[in-house]
Amino acid sequence: MLFFRTTCLFLALILSLSGCMGGARDIPRDHYYRLPAVTPVSPLGTPLIPGTLGISEVQTSGMLHERAILFVREQQPLEVSPYYYYYWVNAPASLVQRHLLDYLHQKNLARDSYRYRSDTPADFSLETRLLQFERYIRKDSAEARVTLELVLRDNHRKRILLRKRYQQNIKAKSLDMADTARAFGKALSVIYKQFARDVAALKMQITNTGQEQTNAGMLGGAKSGRETRQP
């Protein structure tokens, strides 16, 4: 009788342990994602920004402070939710700043670009605010939705050269989360290219404005000269 009881207890212990191990396999594991490398770009022969460019920390608010990947369902477009098992390797602000710096270095947009430091003032500064960084889920597809506000400042003249909000939605190749991470990278790259075009247009505008002021001064001088010769 004692042997029978001992055997039953032993079998119960084995079944209990096997059940625990089976349950552990059913528990979802955490997944961590980084942004893909910046798509190679052709560097500029001459930087658009003739000086040093300090990149300030990317500003975020609310749920974007956390590493959990955020998602929105098409059926409930006003509800933003965090995933419980899908995370970024770092907070989105850190990932975006590093990604942006990589692009600026490749593009040669400024004479030198680096993270802003109070002990190393820059000629120009770029402030970034991350307003949206969400996975939008439809019935059979997903897309990355990114909104950035970029502010370019001339630190010597104490003025804002450019302030603009950029928004991109890029469809992922599949519902796999890794493809969504790649879509986030593509959305950011498109925004960077738009920003570079705006900086190029801004430089041309400043140049044209300077020429117009010079021409206006020459015309004013000529007119004044003619008036002094009148009797």
pLDDT of residue 2 exceeding 50, the answer is no
pLDDT value, residue 227: 43
Mean pLDDT (the chain) is 84
pLDDT tens, 58-115? 999 999 999 999 999 999 999 999 999 999 999 999 999 999 999 999 999 999 999 9
What does the alpha-carbon distance between residue 185 and residue 183 come to, in Å, rounded to a whole number? 5
What does the alpha-carbon distance between residue 219 and residue 204 come to, in Å, rounded to a whole number? 22
pLDDT value, residue 120: 78
Question: What is the residue type of 170?
Answer: I
What's the Rg (C-alpha) of the chain?
Answer: 28
Print burial letters for 48-79: b (CB count within 10 Å at least 16), e (below 16). bbeebbbbbebebeeebeebebbbbeeeeeee
Helices 92-107 and 177-229 cross at an angle (nearest 10°) of: 50
Q: Which residues contact 54 (CB under 8 A, 6 or more apart)?
A: 113, 114, 115, 116, 117, 120, 121, 122, 124, 125, 126, 155
CB 67 within 8 A of CB 87: yes
What does the alpha-carbon distance between residue 112 and residue 123 come to, in Å, rounded to a whole number? 10
27-31, 116-120, 148-152: the lowest-pLDDT one: 116-120
What does the alpha-carbon distance between residue 133 and residue 46 come to, in Å, rounded to a whole number? 32
Given this structure, which CATH class describes domain 50-203?
A: alpha beta
pLDDT tens, 137-163? 999 999 999 999 999 999 998 999 999
User: Cα angle at 87 between 83 and 90, to 5 degrees?
Assistant: 145
pLDDT value, residue 230: 42
pLDDT value, residue 124: 94
Domain assignments of the chain as residue spans, ordered by start: 50-203
Q: Which residues contact 98 (CB under 8 A, 6 or more apart)?
A: 35
Taking the model in full, what pTM does it have? 0.78
pLDDT of residue 15 exceeding 60, the answer is no
